[in-house]
Amino acid sequence: MTAFNDSTSTNAPRSPELSGAAGPFVEPKSGSESALQAVQIKRHFQIGNRELGVLFGVDMDLAPGEKLGLVGASGAGKSTLLHSLGLLDRPSSGKIRIEGIDAWALSPLDRARLRNHRIGFVFQMYHLLPELSAVENVILPGMIDPAGFLGLGGRKRRRELTEKASELLHSFGLGDRLKHRPSQLSGGEKQRVSIARALILDPPILIADEPTGNLDSATGQSILDIIFAEQERRLLSLLLVTHDGNVAERCDRVLHMVDGLMQSSESVAAEDAARVALEANEA
Ligand SMILES: Nc1ncnc2c1ncn2[C@@H]1O[C@H](COP(=O)(O)OP(=O)(O)OP(=O)(O)O)[C@@H](O)[C@H]1O
Ligand SMILES: [Mg+2]
């Protein structure tokens, strides 16, 4: 494993201008017991005149600073749930609360700002913009944030974000890849860029959907080392979908999803986590 973290370089949060900007329009309720909560989430898709049910009333709670794993067979609905939790996809019914705030009840702008500031999202397929360099991809959440244009001025903000992104990429071992485009990066390097993008605005919540699913096991391990190191350093509330039993062992709790429902909202002891992940894989 490579030592990516330089604890002196990117301790979060840093500049109040960058980490909070003007702050989200809706301030999260302080002292909320839950970082992220799903209440009776249902999701169906309309395919022609057929309705395809995917989520059938999912309840889930992620405590502040908790490392929560989510396992389940392919097609169980894990990504669909994560997209709802990450405010990327509106559920058909139910509530998503981010630090106590009913996120889907907000205006689109307020919700966008809440998502931008409070949630980092890491995808299995990276979803980097191919025409942008590594650094440009990382600063993107800061550049599209409406707060970036309130008082700070675009150029100053871009300079500050670029400096912060460079430090973050340095700490992830990508100091000599800052100007590379995604097509010039390996899978593991792309995932490190996407983790930096997820963390650039110092969100308290990190959602990762099979972040190692496209990587060989050694590279995947180095990505997980980064994610868990950042979780510890930033006290992130982490929700991690994985098929990897070793990952589940590193979580505080593991939930098992079956056919669009949580099989049990009970916590699974850490020592049972690997077994649950394995069973989910075999299902
Ligand atoms: N936009 C969509 N339109 C129609 N069906 C969808 C859509 N998104 C997901 N589905 C269906 O929902 C089901 C659950 O998909 P989802 O991607 O959430 O599964 P998953 O648990 O993440 O699986 P995997 O482990 O393979 O990633 C699948 O049957 C899928 O075909
Ligand atoms: Mg998925």
Condensed to tens digits (0 to 9), the pLDDT of residues 218-273 reads 999 999 999 999 999 999 999 999 888 778 789 999 999 999 999 864 444 444 55
Cβ atoms 193, 174 nearer than 8 A: yes
Low-confidence residues of the chain: pLDDT under 50:
1-25, 148-152, 265-271
pLDDT at site 82: 98
Centre of ligand 2 from the C-alpha of residue 166, in Å: 30
pLDDT at site 228: 97
Mutate to test the pocket of ligand 1, among 52, 55, 83, 247 (most ligand atoms within 8 A of CB): 52
pLDDT at site 161: 94
pLDDT at site 203: 97
Residue type, 225: D
pLDDT at site 145: 58
Ligand nearest to the CA of 76: 1
Separation CA 196–CA 141 (nearest Å): 11
DSSP annotation of 231 reads: H
Where do we find the tokens 């209440």? Answer: 39
pLDDT at site 4: 32
Question: Which numeric CATH code is attached to 34-282?
Answer: 3.40.50.300
Separation CA 220–CA 231 (nearest Å): 16
pTM of the complete model: 0.85
pLDDT at site 277: 56
Centre of ligand 2 from the C-alpha of residue 80, in Å: 7
All structural domains of the chain with their residue ranges: 34-282
pLDDT at site 195: 98
Centre of ligand 1 from the C-alpha of residue 77, in Å: 5
- The three-point CA angle 33-36-42 to 5° equals 130
pLDDT at site 147: 52
